[in-house]
Chain A
Amino acid sequence: MTPDWQEGGFGLYIHWPFCEAKCPYCDFNSHVAASIDQSAWRTAYLSEIARAAAETPGRTLRSVFFGGGTPSLMQPETVAEILQAVRKAWPVANDIEITLEANPSSVEAGRFAGFRDAGVSRISMGVQALNADDLRRLGRLHSVEEARKAFEIARSCFERVSFDLIYARQDQTLADWRSELMEALSWGSDHLSLYQLTIEPGTAFGARHKAGGLKGLPDEDLSADLYEVTQEICYHAGLPAYEISNHAADMAQSRHNLIYWRGGDYVGIGPGAHGRLTLEGQRLATETYLAPQKWIEAVSTRGIGESDRVIITPTEQAEEYLMMSLRLAEGSDLRRFTRLMGQPIDRTRVNELEDLALVELKDDRLAATQAGRPVLNGILRSLLA
């Protein structure tokens, strides 16, 4: 029988942990450093690629994703060397997707051609907002105009360009967002990631919110309305949601992220990167050291950047699969769930959710409906908790 991960495919995530400035909403592993020794980092990434490849020989790599931090701060040469090593390490799919996250600043746009020459095929830009006030509140260093220009440069360099927006911001009305989203759609991208602002503990926003600041965030009803209007507008613009917060034209979905949501295997390299690997029939969750210095030391002295590697039981794997795959419009393959879980899903619960029109079940495929997606956490609680 084919191992379960093959249903999702195999990808590589590379984490570049540095940013020019820390954004107040961001809880990703990002650091601001005065100077970065790019050659030391290059060496460390190459060493990790070789190590990971030795564990997963012969697997066809479908995707590479440079995330961060701000990987557009990497030198194009660093990216080029990494990608050369990747191509040596694994056989790659003909249509391999190589994505790099970028800030839409003029400096970084100047490197886009270099990234393209290095082999990057897709850019994902953190535009976040299309008005100056909100960009400032979100701690972004670029202007709307700059973002627009960077987007145009990206589009001239890459076949596929996506960008992110954060909505459900302070004092944002339904009408504000509607017009901002329309403007974003007018840029003509075939992929958008539209995230509702989430206040995460351990961020500057988290601290301000806890202290009673950060007023004017939407309540549950407005947040639901904002979500609904987003779905509706994007659908009519030809970018339906293929995932909770991701919208794309046909064939323009992020193949890399689909590996996560479809329960594939992925190698995670770089500080704080997570991986999922099925080795000798066991699914493993890997984690690396969070602190950049610690990671780079671990790689150079011990030959491995991992801080943790734990076995995920089939039950946990089944739960994880459901949690990830129900985010997708295509939903979950319940036969896979049953195989992993050793027993079928609770049909009474499924039927209750069907009666509430929150899920649909067709030919062993369970999907959240339009009404179900905004309350997916509730659906997962009733199916799994």
Chain B
Amino acid sequence: MTDLNRIRNFSIVAHIDHGKSTLADRLIQLTGTVAERDMQDQILDAMDIERERGITIKANTVRIEYPAQDGETYILNLIDTPGHVDFAYEVSRSMQAVEGSLLVVDASQGVEAQTLANVYQAIDADHEIVPVLNKVDLPAAEPERVKEQIEDVIGIEAHNAVQISAKTGLGIPDVLEAIVTRLPAPKGDPNAPLKAMLVDSYYDSYLGVVVLIRVIDGKIKKGDQIRMMKTGGRYGIDKLGVFRPKMQDIAELGPGEIGFLTASIKQVRDTRVGDTITHDKHPTPNPLPGFKPSQPVVFCGLFPVDANDFEDMRDAIEKLALNDASFSSEMETSAALGFGFRCGFLGLLHLEVIRDRLEREYDIDLITTAPSVIYHVHMRDGTMMELHNPADMPDMTHVDRIEEPRIKATILVPDEYLGDVLKLCQDRRGIQMDLTYAGSRAMVVYDLPLNEVVFDFYDRLKSVTKGYASFDYQMIGYREDALVKMQILVNDEPVDALSMMVHRDRAEGRGRAMCEKLKELIPRHMFKIPIQAAIGGRVIARETLSAMRKDVTAKCYGGDATRKRKLLDKQKAGKKKMRQFGKVEIPQSAFISALKMDS
């Protein structure tokens, strides 16, 4: 057990690419936590996808021993949290497990939307916050201006911000000192009954479920019989340890300490983030309030390109779900795409991460259908259905009204692109809530329908601002609007995988874009093919793919017969990659492109 006064628990708040992972790497390196030869970039990001995309998906912790200038050795526990908006809720929960935050801001870029969203969560969690200006060595760095901006926009003291370059290592010792001197020590009673917070959990194929914990009161030891107070699960602790960042066993964890335990827990789903862990025999009388589980907000269908991969896909999805309680899935069948799964995600990044993992780790080629949000469909008989899939939309004659989820979006953008951003938000049915300036950057707050954001908002935003805007959002509830289901008909056959919910005013434009795109993507057939977008029975957009006019081999003599036959075999194989709709064959690549979110 470590003396409470010599513990500091903190997280790092930063916008993507402002250097959060690099700073973590330097802290780990400078304190000798990891031997030099074992060091690699973004050491805390275990998954390849995290490392490649430079994002942190799950919370990671690392225990650092730091001999401070006051002669004492401190235990520093860093909880590295996901920075992306999709995981905002997970961040807010992890924040509860620590007492302070380092606010890392790129000294050349300044405060970004994600910085704001995350720092407010830290403030909400009563954190002491130490501003850190990174990349001060860059010629474009303007530390004084950025300090002012932090004070103006966020409203925290920044004059004593630590100035560093995580890349070169400049100022890292100052960061360590600031953690010790400026962040508070945790509080707790070592003699009280055990009260520990379940911070996160993940599945490990050797150890089963690994549970990240923060001890609040009391002590926990290997062999202890524990109880999860919400779920009621009782377990004997098999292994207790800390991350350095590799697992290291430890005899005991006391108040203020952060570590992990394993206890023959089979599924991540058996654990609930925010739950209180206590001794089964002597439970704490004051359990933590707990958190609501995170809810998927974006849904899409995932189908194997090769129908034979369905069983493999089912296994893969089950395995992924074991480790990710926020990801939901249920079997779905589509006339167009066969058997697959309707999956729910925390956001688009989460969707992409899961899809990439299925494709990469399990080697399954997937078709992703248009992402959709959950609509509340209020029926005339007074009931309400949650619509996850436009294909399930009931007949409009039975529908009283449809409500859609709305978000509050915060966008920070250089002044010169403001007009484009306002136009984009306006086009996406946004309602302006606020517009303020922070230096030469505008901060716009919009009330936007989530479904306009899941489609391609972020890509459009990046493109109209040449990547200079930053964006974050939070859900703010449901509101009624004039929403309709738009169907796509190819050669007069509805293609369910392409149907989507759209606002009545936007249906025509969206329908036209879709028809035009499909016209490019579907190969010419022997006959002309109408491609239509329709609402109910009414066609709102139409393109015609003209019939093939010329496709014949000019020369075919004795020596060409074999080649011609091999070409036919190739076409037979190619046909397997086509989906048949009535008489029309649509290549799977066309679905993927037509439904691509960035289109």
Residues of B within 8 A of A (CB): 524-527, 548-559, 561-562, 564-565, 568, 571-572, 574-575, 583
Contacts and interface: CB of A to CB of B under 8 A. Distances in A.
A219 B563 CA distance: 25
B548 A378 contact: yes
Contacts of B574: 385
Interface string A334-358: 0000000000000000001100101
Given A274-B561, A385-B571, A385-B572, 5 more contacts: A197-B554, A352-B583, A373-B552, A375-B551, A385-B568
Contact of B556 (A197, A244, A378, A384): A244
Contact of B526 (A272, A323, A375): A375
| 9 shortest interchain CB distances as A-B pairs | A224-B549, A224-B550, A274-B559, A377-B551, A376-B552, A195-B554, A385-B571, A260-B558, A223-B550
B555 A260 contact: no
Contacts of A379: 526
A259 B558 CA distance: 9
B550 A275 contact: no
A257 interface: yes
A273 interface: yes
B561 A198 contact: no
B561 A378 contact: no
Contacts of B549: 220-221, 223-224, 374-375
Contacts of A377: 551-553
15 contacts: A28-B559, A244-B556, A260-B557, A261-B556, A274-B562, A353-B526, A374-B552, A375-B548, A376-B552, A376-B553, A377-B551, A378-B526, A379-B526, A385-B574, A385-B575
Query: Which of A268, A320, A323 has the most CB atoms of chain B within a 10 A radius of its CB?
Result: A323
Nearest to A263: B561
A361 interface: no
A191 to B, nearest CB: 15
Contact of A285 (B548, B562, B572): B562
B201 to A, nearest CB: 51
A195 B553 CA distance: 9
Contacts of A84: none
A331 B556 CA distance: 15
The listed residue with most B CB atoms (<10 A of its CB), out of A223, A380, A381, is A381
Contacts of A287: 562
A356 B547 CA distance: 10
Interface string A173-208: 000000000000000000000011110000000000
A306 to B, nearest CB: 14
B294 to A, nearest CB: 48
A358 B526 contact: yes
A257 B575 CA distance: 31
A340 B574 CA distance: 25
Q: Name, among A198, A324, A327, the residue most crowded by chain B CB atoms within 10 Å (CB to CB).
A: A324
Given A380-B568, A382-B526, A274 B558 contact: yes
A13 interface: yes
A276 interface: yes
Contacts of A198: 553-555
A52 to B, nearest CB: 14
A240 B106 CA distance: 77
Given A223-B550, A319-B565, A380-B568, A356 B526 contact: yes
A245 interface: yes
B565 A245 contact: no
A257 B555 contact: no
A316 interface: yes
A295 interface: no
Contacts of A374: 549-552
Contact of A375 (B552, B564, B565): B552
Nearest to B583: A352
A185 to B, nearest CB: 19
B565 A320 contact: yes
Nearest to A243: B556
A266 interface: yes
A384 B570 CA distance: 12
Given A220-B550, A268-B558, A356 B527 contact: yes
Contacts of B550: 220-221, 223-224, 227, 374-375
Nearest to B565: A320
Contacts of B554: 195-198, 244-245
A99 to B, nearest CB: 12
Contact of B568 (A28, A220, A272, A323): A323
Nearest to A264: B558
A346 to B, nearest CB: 13
Contacts of A274: 558-559, 561-562
B415 to A, nearest CB: 41
Contact of A272 (B555, B559, B583): B559
B526 A324 contact: no
B551 A378 contact: yes
A184 to B, nearest CB: 17
A316 B568 CA distance: 10
Given A224-B550, A352-B583, A375-B550, A273 B559 contact: yes
Given A195-B555, A198-B555, A245-B555, A319 B526 contact: no
B544 to A, nearest CB: 15
A275 B558 contact: yes
Contacts of B553: 198, 244, 376-377
Contacts of A195: 554-555
A87 to B, nearest CB: 21
A319 B569 CA distance: 10
A374 B551 CA distance: 6
A224 B574 CA distance: 25
B359 to A, nearest CB: 28
Nearest to B557: A260
Nearest to B578: A385
Given A268-B558, A274-B558, A358-B526, A323 B564 contact: yes
Given A220-B550, A378-B551, A276 B527 contact: no
